[in-house]
Amino acid sequence: MLLLTARYSFANTKARALRGRRLTPEDFHFLIQARDLSGFFAYLATTSYQDVLSGKDIGNISPKSIERNLYTPLFEGYRKIADALKNSRSRQVILAMYSRFEAENLKIILRTIVAGRNRSAASPLLYPLGRLTRLAWDGLWNCKGPAELAGILHNSIFGQAIEHALPQFEAQGRIFPIEVALDLAAFRWLARAVDRLASKRDKNEAHDLLGRYVDILNCLWIIRLKVHFDMSPEEIVNYSLPGGKAIGLKGLHLLAKSKTVTEFLENLPESLSNKLARIRDWADFRPAFTSLLLRSLRKAFASFPFHVGIEAAYLLEKELEVQALISIMESKRQKAASKDIKRHVPVELLDEVAHV
Amino acid sequence: MFKAVKLTRVTIQCPEEQISPVMSVLGNMRLLHLIRIEETHLGKLGYVARVDRELLDHYTSLLTRTNRLIDGLHPTQPMPSVTKIPRPDKEIFRLKEVITRIEKEALSILEEREKTWQAIVQDQTLLDRLKLLEPAELDFDRLGSLKYATWMTGLIPEENLDRLEESLSDVYHALIPILKKDGKIVLFAMSLRDDENVLHRALKSAFWDPIELPDNLKGNIFEVTERTSRALEGLKARLSELDQQRKMLGEKYGTQLLETREIILLCSQLLKAQKKFGAIDHTYIITGWLPVDLFNELKKRIAEATMGKALIDQVDPEHIREVRSGILKIPILFNNPLLIRPFERLTTLYGTPSYKEIEPTVFLAISFLVLFGMMFGDVGQGAVLFAIGYYVFRRMFRFMDYGVILMECGVSSIIFGLLYGSVFGFEDLIPALWIHPMRHIDHFMKVSVLLGISIISLGFLLNLVNLLRQRRYGDLFSASGLAGALFYWLLAGLGIRYIFSENVSPVEVLLAKISAISLFMIMLLQRPVRSLLFHLRKGGRQRRLPKGIGITLFESLIEVLDDILRYMANTVSFVRVAAFGLTHVALFMAVFSLADMVRTAHGRGLSYWLVIVIGNLVIILLEGMVVSIQTLRLEYYEFFSRFFRGGGKPFRPLLEEKAG
């Protein structure tokens, strides 16, 4: 206990201080109520996101580029938290979480290379990863294909993952297998990093929080692959993420086989199905799961404070905040009504609006 | 040697049908720097020749065929040099015949070899795959006879096995791990034929890397391995025979193929050069720079090749208006002896001299070697430098020039080593023919300064020659011209007199003062006076003085003072020659002190000599590099800056760069 206190007190203070800069329900209220997109940006410039917008001519920047820019504070947060965590094992958990975004950027580079497009067109789509990344991005852009990319990434967690996916990339003639392999590599690292945490309590807390997160992601992936990509259960199981808490392989298989929403709900573990009983449509799962996740993240801040889960919770919460912002921004672009926009934002971010 | 080769501008006019022989003559002469017709008034009017695309395409396709043969036959003969360049339009027929003849004999062998090689690769791959499956002891006859079941072999990442098992849990299946390899599991997967699609989908999503086997395998895996190994041996034997035949063909046709490729490349280059030609109706115009001495030879050869149908004339650069006005630059063709030529690299590193300038390579080479030798004088180390230079010269073709420079530096170092009586720092092995620098520091310093005065004076003289050649007579009165030179020599003479006799008479001082003041006034007033004269010539009689004359005078004063200060600084700068020469000796002393310490502790054994050897190596590398940099600095900053303006254009002879 004393050791954990010593290990996490600085990082915890850092995480809590950073969390103090999160958008309040009042901020979300005004952002949703903004008359148009320029009103949205005008209000956003008064929040902790002002640095992201300062000096930029928003009108001349592509929407995707603005979206990516909104992630800058998140990656700054990753850097600060990683710097604050001197303990290498808990730092690994944060770096593993961060590697999900490295995987995303690698996918963008791969798509660009395979499609024969040029770098300048794809650059605005990249996440602004900042200084924490150790991958040689410039070298990656010069690759001729995935095999060369795997060679350059040989010493990273992604190298072997791409190598293993190459035969299927060649057989199927599309980069989907490599994309999945990259995601799996990042989550496999995350699961391993959690397993390697030195303290049992640290490990349990981290597994509890991140396991829940992986469960929710797996459920969302199953729905996406099933409903949107029409994939068979046997494929979906193989594409599921490792490191879940409440849903094992059998559970994932059952969910993948579920034909209706009701059947899906029945196959969910009780801890989840109880909270989602009202859902009748596949589309309603995403906001519901996001709300569930937000609630569990907030709970982490109110419980035992000295474990890596606190830092992870802050970073995930920030990530969801950015996603909510992007969702509002997109709705504003499409001139959606405020009440419709509200439906896409997790209710946890909107409550406590006491000023109106 | 002291100036660039004298060039003349040549213009050739010939009918369209004679362009090929003319090109052939130009190719053979090589020393013609083509002027792009586009850059002349004709080009601006649109009279630009077209490249003969059709013929060029023939050459390109022939090059591909030749390269294929060369790649296949791997000729080992040395690259032949083509001395005579034929007419591209005529030569193509001969070249085609040569290549077709060689193809007739070689292609069947090369194709069979390629097929045999592919079969070997195929069999080898099959053997590698069978080896992976051997522990499963598969019987392909039995597997082939299965009616209701399907099977496949392949690899999956280790971590995917559990998920694969789960994904197939709804169908009858068998997953048999055979062995582990590089993070993957070799797997034998089986299911009912009805569930074949499920099995496929599951394997695909588990990143299945199939081990594909031919359908016609008979017997068990060991029998198949045995049969394949035997077939492989047969194929290898056949490949060896074919390699032998290929080698013989390579020996027979190698030189011819390499020569053919050279000719193709040269002809292609000649054809591409056509885009620099001009054309009016059916007449071609070629213009360029040629060494004057070669003009008559060129004229004769072109007349012979075209049966007198081509017109050729030359114009002296002096008579070309664009040259006089500086729009058109005459390229510089260096003309130095073999041993000096490598130093051209150092000259061009500073700049390319203009046509009317002294070509300074020979002065650079000599002064470089003297300065280097003075600072790095040692017989032993000079010999090591020579050896390294020789190695570079013989083994590293690209750096041959630097090899020669190193060898020459080595020789200079040896000569100064003899003068200093130093061999690898030992000063008691041979007698000093001149001085031991450390024992005559004063003298050594004086000599360095004298050397500096000589080099700077040479710079002044070369600048005077440049001024006269370029007819910049007005500049003779400037600080960098004759007035500046006299001023410098006056002060230098006074300094030398003082250094050596330590006694300068009052009369000498008075005379020097008068001369110095006169020269200073000349240098100071030359610009304002020239400005005044220019003003008067332009008809500015209504105003006595031109506008801004005061500023000109002030600028002139600053300029002259700056120049005088720089002369002093440049001269003092040469003290570094002595300083680095002494540093060289001091480093030796440090090495010997270390060696003596070792000797005191362990006797004069291996350790002692090891210190001497390592010390010498360090000195060669460290001091060698520092001395080279310092020498180059003295050359560029103290010497070249006196007279070298640069801004010239290098001579690019026709066919300098062959097409790859």
| Cβ distance of A235 and B208 shorter than 8 Å | no
A163, A225, A238, A259: best to mutate for the B interface, most B CBs within 10 A: A238
A157, A162, A164: best to mutate for the B interface, most B CBs within 10 A: A164
Helix (H, G, I), strand (E, B) or coil at B48: strand
Chain A residues interacting with chain B (CB cutoff of 8 angstroms): 160, 164-165, 167-168, 171-172, 177, 181, 188, 232-240, 242, 249-250, 252-253, 257
Question: Band of the pLDDT at A3, cuts 50, 70, 90?
Answer: low
| Cβ distance of B207 and A165 shorter than 8 Å | yes
Strand (E) or helix (H) holding B33: strand B33-34
Strand (E) or helix (H) holding B101: helix B88-133
Contact partners, residue B68, CB within 8 Å, separation at least 6 = none
Residue-wise pLDDT tens digits, A117-134: 888 888 888 999 988 898
Residue-wise pLDDT tens digits, B635-654: 998 899 888 888 888 888 87
- How far B209 CA lies from chain A's nearest CA (Å)? 5
Judged by average pLDDT, the poorest of A15-19, A213-217, B86-90, B454-458 is B86-90
**Chain A contact for B207 (CB, 8 A cutoff):** yes
Q: Which of A73, A106, A78 is nearest to A92 (CA)?
A: A78
Are the CB atoms for A253 and B167 separated by under 8 Å? yes
Q: Which of B496, B386, B494, B401 is nearest to B451 (CA)?
A: B496
Q: Where does residue B655 fall: left (phi above 0), alpha (psi -120 to 50 degrees), or beta otherwise?
A: left
Average pLDDT over residues B71-90: 82
Average pLDDT over residues B383-408: 90
For the stretch B144-170, what's the b/e string if a residue is b when 16 or more beta carbons lie within 10 angstroms of its beta carbon? eeeeebbbbbbbbbebbeebbebbbee
Q: Which residue of B has its CA nearest to A231?
A: B201
Are the CB atoms for B512 and B488 separated by under 8 Å? no
pLDDT, mean over chain A: 89
For the stretch A321-351, what's the b/e string if a residue is b when 16 or more beta carbons lie within 10 angstroms of its beta carbon? bbbbbbbbbebbeeebeeeebbebbbebbee
Q: Return the residue matching tokens 């080898």.
A: B124
Using CB atoms within 10 A of its CB, is residue A209 exposed (0-12), middle (13-18) or buried (19+)?
Answer: buried
Helix (H, G, I), strand (E, B) or coil at B436: coil
> B205 to chain A: which residues are within 8 Å by CB?
234-239
Q: Tally A–B CB contacts below 8 A.
A: 63
What's the distance, CA B390 to chain centroid? 18
- Out of A167, A238, A253, name the one closest to residue B205 (CB): A238
Query: Domain segments of chain A: what residues?
Result: 1-53+310-347, 88-197, 200-306
Domain with CATH 3.30.70.2750 in chain B: 138-219
> A232 to chain B: which residues are within 8 Å by CB?
198, 201
**Chain A contact for B167 (CB, 8 A cutoff):** yes
**Chain A contact for B506 (CB, 8 A cutoff):** no
> What pLDDT shows up at residue A353?
41
Question: Band of the pLDDT at A150, cuts 50, 70, 90?
Answer: very high
**Chain A contact for B166 (CB, 8 A cutoff):** yes
Rounded CA separation A206/A200 (Å): 10
Judged by average pLDDT, the poorest of A216-220, B98-102, B104-108, B284-288 is B284-288
Asked if residue A322 has pLDDT above 80, the reply is yes
Question: Band of the pLDDT at A60, cuts 50, 70, 90?
Answer: confident
- Out of A168, A236, A242, name the one closest to residue B204 (CB): A168
Asked if residue A196 has pLDDT above 70, the reply is yes
Question: Of how many residues is chain A composed?
Answer: 356
Q: Which residue of B has its CA nearest to A241?
A: B163
Helix, strand, coil shares of chain A, percent, nearest 5, are 75, 0, 25
Asked if residue B13 has pLDDT above 50, the reply is yes
Residue-wise pLDDT tens digits, B554-573: 888 888 898 888 888 888 88
Strand pairing category for B649-650 and B331-332: parallel
Asked if residue B660 has pLDDT above 50, the reply is no
Are the CB atoms for B84 and B30 separated by under 8 Å? no
> What pLDDT shows up at residue A355?
35
Rounded CA separation B114/B30 (Å): 41
- How far A318 CA lies from chain B's nearest CA (Å)? 31
Helix (H, G, I), strand (E, B) or coil at B188: strand
Provide the token pair at A133.
């990344």
Strand pairing category for B149-157 and B209-210: antiparallel
Residue-wise pLDDT tens digits, B269-284: 888 888 888 877 778 8
Are the CB atoms for B386 and B410 separated by under 8 Å? yes
Provide the token pair at B28.
């053979």
Q: Return the residue matching tokens 């206190």.
A: A5
Q: Return the residue matching tokens 């041979």.
A: B430
When the candidates are 3.40.190.10, 3.40.50.150, 3.30.70.2750, 3.10.20.30, the CATH number that belongs to B138-219 is 3.30.70.2750
Strand pairing category for B184-192 and B278-280: unpaired
Residue-wise pLDDT tens digits, A288-297: 999 999 999 9
Average pLDDT over residues A272-283: 88
| Cβ distance of B207 and A181 shorter than 8 Å | yes
- Out of B162, B198, B201, name the one closest to residue A249 (CB): B162
pLDDT, mean over chain B: 87
> What pLDDT shows up at residue B434?
87
Using CB atoms within 10 A of its CB, is residue B104 exposed (0-12), middle (13-18) or buried (19+)?
Answer: exposed
Rounded CA separation A138/B297 (Å): 56
> What pLDDT shows up at residue B497?
81
- Out of A160, A168, A235, name the one closest to residue B183 (CB): A160
Kindly calculate the radius of gyration of chain A based on its CA atoms and give it in whole angstroms. 21
Average pLDDT over residues A209-216: 94
Question: Band of the pLDDT at A202, cuts 50, 70, 90?
Answer: confident
Rounded CA separation A250/B406 (Å): 76
Q: Where does residue B183 fall: left (phi above 0), alpha (psi -120 to 50 degrees), or beta otherwise?
A: left
Residue-wise pLDDT tens digits, B429-441: 889 898 888 888 8
- Most confident segment among A122-126, A183-187, B25-29, B448-452: A183-187
| Cβ distance of B167 and A164 shorter than 8 Å | no
Average pLDDT over residues A139-152: 90
B181, B207, B209, B211: best to mutate for the A interface, most A CBs within 10 A: B207
Are the CB atoms for B286 and B277 separated by under 8 Å? yes
Return the axis-axis angle of helices A63-70 and A308-333, rounded to nearest 10°: 160
- Out of B157, B164, B170, name the one closest to residue A164 (CB): B157
Are the CB atoms for B165 and B243 separated by under 8 Å? no
Average pLDDT over residues B536-553: 72
Rounded CA separation B584/B616 (Å): 10
**Chain A contact for B212 (CB, 8 A cutoff):** no
Asked if residue B332 has pLDDT above 60, the reply is yes
Are the CB atoms for B392 and B405 separated by under 8 Å? no
- Most confident segment among A55-69, A121-135, A205-219, A299-313: A205-219
Q: Which of B322, B269, B404, B242 is nearest to B39 (CA)?
A: B322
- Out of A160, A237, A239, name the one closest to residue B166 (CB): A237
> What pLDDT shows up at residue B543?
60
| Cβ distance of B202 and A238 shorter than 8 Å | yes
How many CA atoms within 13 Å lie on the side-chain side of A251? 19
Degrees to nearest 5, angle at CA A179 with A173 and A183: 155
> B211 to chain A: which residues are within 8 Å by CB?
none
Are the CB atoms for A102 and A44 separated by under 8 Å? no
Class of the A200-306 domain?
Answer: mainly alpha
- Out of A171, A181, A240, name the one closest to residue B163 (CB): A240
Provide the token pair at B529.
């006076």
Provide the 8-state DSSP code for A130.
G
Rounded CA separation B508/B490 (Å): 11
* Identity of the amino acid at A189: W
Q: Which of B208, B207, B201, B206 is nearest to B164 (CA)?
A: B206
> What pLDDT shows up at residue A6?
65
Average pLDDT over residues B172-176: 94
Residue-wise pLDDT tens digits, B581-625: 898 888 888 888 888 888 887 766 788 888 889 998 999 898 889
Residues forming a β-bridge with B175: B189
Asked if residue B1 has pLDDT above 70, the reply is no
Helix, strand, coil shares of chain B, percent, nearest 5, are 65, 10, 25
> What pLDDT shows up at residue B659?
40
Residue-wise pLDDT tens digits, B14-64: 887 788 888 888 887 878 888 888 777 777 777 777 788 899 999 999 999
Distances (CA, A) of B582 to B35, B574, B586: 53, 13, 6
- Out of B168, B183, B209, name the one closest to residue A167 (CB): B209
Are the CB atoms for B49 and B282 separated by under 8 Å? no
Rounded CA separation B132/B155 (Å): 10
Strand pairing category for B173-181 and B149-157: unpaired
> A179 to chain B: which residues are within 8 Å by CB?
none
Average pLDDT over residues B123-150: 90
* Identity of the amino acid at A5: T
Asked if residue B197 has pLDDT above 60, the reply is yes
Q: Which of A121, A123, A78 is nearest to A105 (CA)?
A: A123
| Cβ distance of B198 and A167 shorter than 8 Å | no
Asked if the ipTM is above 0.90, the reply is no
Residues forming a β-bridge with B311: B13
Return the axis-axis angle of helices A88-115 and A200-223, rounded to nearest 10°: 20
> B163 to chain A: which residues are within 8 Å by CB?
237-238, 240, 249
Strand (E) or helix (H) holding B257: helix B221-272
Strand (E) or helix (H) holding B650: strand B649-650
Rounded CA separation B209/A283 (Å): 36
Rounded CA separation A72/A88 (Å): 24
CB neighbourhood size of B512 (10 A) = 16
* Identity of the amino acid at B61: S
CB neighbourhood size of A8 (10 A) = 24
> A177 to chain B: which residues are within 8 Å by CB?
207
**CATH architecture designation of domain A88-197:** Up-down Bundle (1.20)
Rounded CA separation A91/A10 (Å): 13
| Cβ distance of A234 and B198 shorter than 8 Å | yes
Q: Which of B162, B138, B160 is nearest to B151 (CA)?
A: B138
- Most confident segment among B299-303, B332-336, B351-355: B299-303
